[in-house]
Chains A and B, each alone.
Chain A
Amino acid sequence: MSDVLRSYTGRVNPSRRSRRKRRKPVFSTFLVLLALACLAWALFITRDTHEIPRLVPADQAYQVYMFNVLEKRPDLLGSAVWDLLPEDSPYVALRSRWVADLPIPDWIANNLLYGICHASGQDLRDFRDILFVTKMSRVGCLVERFRSFFVDMGQDPAGGLNLRVLPGKTGYYAVRGRVLVASPSRKALIRSLTLSEDQALSPTEFARGAAGAMERDVFAMLRPDREDFLGDSFRTIDVTLQVRPDGLVLAASGDLREACRARYAPLLDGMSGGRAVTPAEGLMTVAVDVGQPFPAFLERLDGLLSKSGASSPLAPVVHLLRDPPDTATPLATVLPAFARTVTGPGWLQWRGAALNAMVPLPVLLAGFEADAAFVTEVMGRFKSVPEQSGGDPNFVPRYDEASGMVHVPLIGGPDIEPSFGYRDGQLLLSNSRLALESALAKGITRESPASPANFRLRLRPAPACESIAAMGRQFADAGVLRDFTAASFKAFAADWCQQASKVREVSLALACEDGRVKLRIDLAMASGVN
């Protein structure tokens, strides 16, 4: 405001004032009306007239559900798990592009991919007919409407379906209400837009998928053809993926086909409520519960393999287990004799490497639920074998009363000496007498799993790689490691171990419950990675 005093003289021109007063309502009204019209038009053209499932064929072989893709983008792409990708992988470049700026402004992208994002298709081999369906915000709709300001997009009338063509014909999309449907396949897109109600995905199934995606980052439902991977065995497979900053969890659950259930019934019977439990320690541990004693399982598996026409590779093993030789002394009788004592689940533990053994080799320890009385009886068979004499070496198994072990003096000392013992209801066996002695003395601590499983695997990649590298180095130093010299292996192993050191642990659990197979993989990254 100015401080200058102003004085007005003379008459005010009333006609001018009144004229101004008259014009103002007309212009304002026009502007308001225009704005209202625009708003109405905007509301009209962005009205939510279509539901996503109505545009998704019901017979898709796979469906993938994700919520708030862009919102989750920093968490998803910032996870340490991507550090496992090789540096020259195209995914690394892709990831860095996505972590950085998107090709379009974030606010546009957020409005284009608003809420749920759905991908589906029928081709599980090369995904050529993949169909993306997402719901846009009203802003997103308007932005899409004014796309010509941003991108030079082509038009494809497609008999009135009015498809938009992406530059270079790399894909097509269409908008129905606030739903955007896109596909690299014109045919798939047209089919999506012309579905009858009974051909479209049921809202119930969509709701199930959406609910799955709410709990995890990604939820996928697969319905593979018989020709597809796993399609011969599974009718449907649900997969969820959750990516965390320090790892990921992949879970899958598949419904076995009836024919498959019937075919493998002898093996699947009794698998429910699997009691596979891995030892807590070890570079890698594996546990298996096949719901029946192993010898019986092998016999049934052999029967299945033989039915398919080819001669079963298990036949000699099964024969040996069924009719073990009478005499207790030859090496070949030890395993079958003890195998027949097994009554329940078992596990295998890779404890490390015997680097100073005559030949470097992994130290393995296994345990199986076994019949105590039967084990004692079998061990008794080896009591009468005389202790190793000073003469020619032999491979005769012998019982050592002090340690309670049966061991076979094979080659090279205690680290290459198959040994058998019994503790805590378990038959324990190892390729190393020292490892078995330790296990018998200290016992084996085992995990307490939250859910049943028939198969479990736990791998600690860093020490496992170190162990393999240490063994490999000896072969490389001796010049007998194929395709490596000592120097080249050293460099290779260093890279390999460095990569492995990023992962703290990988675990896998597989369960079979009433004809449904469940798989869970947990990948935990080492702290400090990323």
Chain B
Amino acid sequence: MIQRLILLLLLFAVSSLPVASALEAGAAKIEITPTVGVPLTGYGDRMGRSSTGVHDPLWARALYLTDGETPALIVNTDLCFILPELRERVLALVPSVVPPENVFLTATHTHSGPGAMSHRLLTRLMTGRYMPEVIDRTAEGIAEAMRLAVQQARRASIGYATAKQEVLSRNRSIPDGPIDEQIGVIRVDDADGASIAIVTNFAAHPTSVPSADGYAFSADYPGFYYDEIERLASPGCIALFLNGAEGDQTIANPENKSGWARTESVGRLLAVRAKGAANKIVCGDATLHVGHLEVDMPPTLAGAIVPTKAILKTLEINDLLLTFLPGEPCVSIAHALRQRALARGYGAQFTVGLANDYLLYFTGPTDYRRPSYEAAISLFGPGMEDWFCRQFEGLMTRGVPPEADPLPDTPVVNEVEGVRHVILSGPPRTVGRQRGLAFAAAIKAYYEAAIVAPVRSGDYRPALPIWSWLPAFIDPTPVLLPLLAGGARPRLGELDDALLLELEGMAEGAGMPFDAVWLAQNAHEFALQPDSAPLFDTPLCTMFAVVGDRAGADRLFVGRNLDWAREETPVVTEVYPEKGRAFLQIDFPWHVGTFTGMNDAGLVICAERSERLGPPNVKASPLGMVLRDVLAVAKDVDAAIEVLRLHEGLSGYHVLLASPGEGTPSAAVVMLGETLSVRLAGGTGLLTGSDPRHHATAPDARLRYARVEELLADERIIGRNEIEGVLSDTTGTEEPMSAICNERTRFGTVFEPGTRTVYVAVPHGDGRMGPFTSWRLKTGGAP
């Protein structure tokens, strides 16, 4: 009796437990090889020509899963990417049991797949002529695979595993660089234990087809993977391949083979590894969850080339998280996503690239600054790693998402005697956002004038003759701007991480593409290149330091007028960063770097252009950024010179450094030419930016600096008033810009490093310098 009672109680307990609906699954594949003659896509140098043959067939493979509540279709196609035209056609044909947002449409990224599927003009330059019938046939093939998979659904169990590999892939951008060592495997079995499907997630470019078959259709190494795994698995098993964060990953050559043998070797080895991992999986029931998000991408200069909205999807199978990205993420993004997913309580995470859309490459901040193909065609800025992590964390159902980083308030900009003043503080990104919020209009205006205008007018053109052959009715600006940005990207290379974050923040605050903000930072140096029309033939001067006894009790003063071709209003910006030294810069709103600044150690930096030292090196970081870096870390002149020495390749400038030191003030002019050389103050205690007696000094600079010496010659002690007088002097000759305060002078500054005080004035409309207003840098942190 008691036994019966216990049995009844057990039955009751079991029946009252929440039971997941039984998992069902089905898989199918349909060949989608187009007819010979359809152009291929993947390599631009094919120039849209027709295909000439088929090496191996292309497939659409679909895996249908449903836990009774959430149906999902994972579709794997042997295509280079999924373009919107194809996606729309496929989604219109999805079996009615699956909501379109639960379809995961992926491409293996074979570079030997068909093009012809975009009607957008700029995309056609890569994918070849538009053939609507190719879209129709491909979409119908995919739809048929989906329909069959749904049709064949049956009771199933599922499981996953990860395996480690070190020899199948390599980083193609950095020798011995990071790779995604994870092979992710999902096995789906039917009720009899026969495999319905094995899904493998592995990251490497399918670009291994030998050039002799460069015009033949092929699935590349995934084709051999399919063959091998379907051979190894039980009959009827469908192999699926989901490429991962393959942006900077390609296949290695583990068996040292060449041509097709290498392709086959990697495909089959991958299958063996995957099958090995699959064999260890214990399949069971599963709960599915689909995350779907359509979100605006960060602003980009390439809006004419790539979609500006992204489709992000997640599929959760129990504690496995699959994240689907619409493009080619580099491996650092996969690592970051995995780290976040594991921290949120997932057992494993697979990154799937080339899913649902194609927005080209995505790199992390480190890769973004490296001169590489991947960086050059990453069009959404250096912050994509963080951006994807934030977006996907919002879709994860496990754990608690991190709090969003709110935009700071727009800082208050005061104006005194024509000089604007603003205080920025906080972590670098916040400082940048504040700057962007405060001066969005000015930054945009400068970018338009200094970058967009010369590109549009044809002053900036790549060297390839085709850009000169374009007919006049074509305005290539929407294409050239991303190219120009790609060219400027290596200049980020040596930039401090904090500065990069600040630039990102500035772009966010101003609502501009990162590339636009960065190009604005570079504009003045681009314009100084000999082969482009000079936008600013500015010498960025005058500057001088008075040091030692001649500066009286204050021991050190620096005077500086900044001459600048474009009419702009200066801003005095106090920056109190989270890390590094607080500093104060007198610059223009768009400028994150600086040509005129002082830090909390009293180190003063001013720069002037020196034509005799050649044009600025566009392969090196912009000088303004380097000087900003110097202000953030250096405490005195010697330390500043050391930092400058670390930045190789700087050229075309004089940099005046002055610091009070520890009771021993010093000043130096660093000349950045082929080599770095230093000029120190002589016995007069006066150090000018250029030597007026040097034969190579430009005539106008010679006149200005001679006038500085003349005005100060009779002053035994030089104080602030005398320097203000010098900076206000309008005496000149017919030589343009021969006066210290001339028609291009945008502001005058006197630095009093001992008290961390700066006095700033702007010329009035009549050309005379206005009154000087003082600001003092707080040494104890942000006010």
Contacts and interface: CB of A to CB of B under 8 A. Distances in A.
Interface stretch (B123-131, B292-300, B418-426, B643-651): B123-131
Interface string B446-485: 0000000000000000000000000011111111000000
Contacts of B119: 356
A484 B381 CA distance: 28
A390 B53 contact: yes
Contact of A411 (B49, B304, B476, B479): B49
Interface stretch (A122-130, A134-142, A251-259, A412-420): A412-420
A159 interface: no
A474 B121 contact: yes
Interface string A483-519: 1000000000000000000000000000000000000
Given A409-B49, A477-B121, A478-B478, A357 B212 contact: no
B216 interface: yes
Interface in B106-135: 119-122, 124-125, 128-132
A481 B47 contact: no
B503 to A, nearest CB: 26
A482 interface: yes
Contacts of B53: 390
A388 interface: yes
Contacts of B104: none
A413 B304 contact: no
B129 A390 contact: no
Contacts of A360: 121
B479 A392 contact: no
A481 B474 contact: yes
Nearest to B55: A390
Interface residues of B, number: 36
A386 interface: no
Nearest to A476: B121
A98 interface: no
B128 A480 contact: no
Given A360-B121, A478-B478, A480-B304, A390 B131 contact: no
Contacts of A391: 211-212, 214
B37 to A, nearest CB: 8
A266 to B, nearest CB: 33
Contact of B50 (A357, A413, A480): A413
Contacts of B211: 390-392
Given A388-B215, A478-B120, A412 B129 contact: yes
**DSSP class of A's interface residues: helix, strand, loop or mixed?**
loop
Given A358-B128, A412-B128, A482 B474 contact: yes
Contacts of A203: none
Contact of B475 (A358, A416, A477, A483): A483
A502 B138 CA distance: 43
Contact of A480 (B130, B214, B479): B479
Contacts of B212: 389-391
Interface in A386-424: 388-393, 409-416
Interface in B46-73: 46-50, 52-53
A113 to B, nearest CB: 48
Contacts of A416: 48
Given A356-B131, A413-B129, A477-B121, A390 B213 contact: yes
A325 interface: no
A413 B49 contact: yes
A82 interface: no
B45 interface: yes
A443 interface: no
B214 A390 contact: yes
Contacts of B479: 480
B39 interface: yes
Contact of A390 (B48, B52, B304, B473): B52
Pick the most buried of A392, A474, A479: most chain B CB atoms within 10 A of its CB.
A479
A75 B304 CA distance: 52
Contacts of B303: 479
B124 A358 contact: yes
Given A390-B213, A480-B477, 16 more contacts: A356-B129, A356-B130, A356-B131, A390-B211, A392-B211, A393-B49, A412-B128, A412-B129, A413-B39, A413-B48, A413-B128, A415-B129, A475-B474, A480-B121, A482-B473, A483-B475
Contacts of A36: none
Pick the most buried of A393, A481, A483: most chain B CB atoms within 10 A of its CB.
A393
A415 B130 CA distance: 11
A394 B304 CA distance: 30
Q: Please list the 4 inter-chain residue pairs (A to B) with the smallest Cβ-Cβ separation, ordered nearest first.
A: A412-B48, A482-B475, A411-B47, A479-B304
Given A390-B52, A393-B49, A413-B50, A480 B478 contact: yes
25 contacts: A358-B48, A359-B124, A388-B52, A389-B212, A390-B52, A390-B213, A391-B211, A391-B212, A393-B46, A393-B47, A410-B47, A412-B128, A412-B129, A414-B50, A415-B129, A416-B48, A475-B473, A478-B304, A479-B478, A480-B474, A480-B475, A480-B477, A481-B473, A481-B475, A482-B474
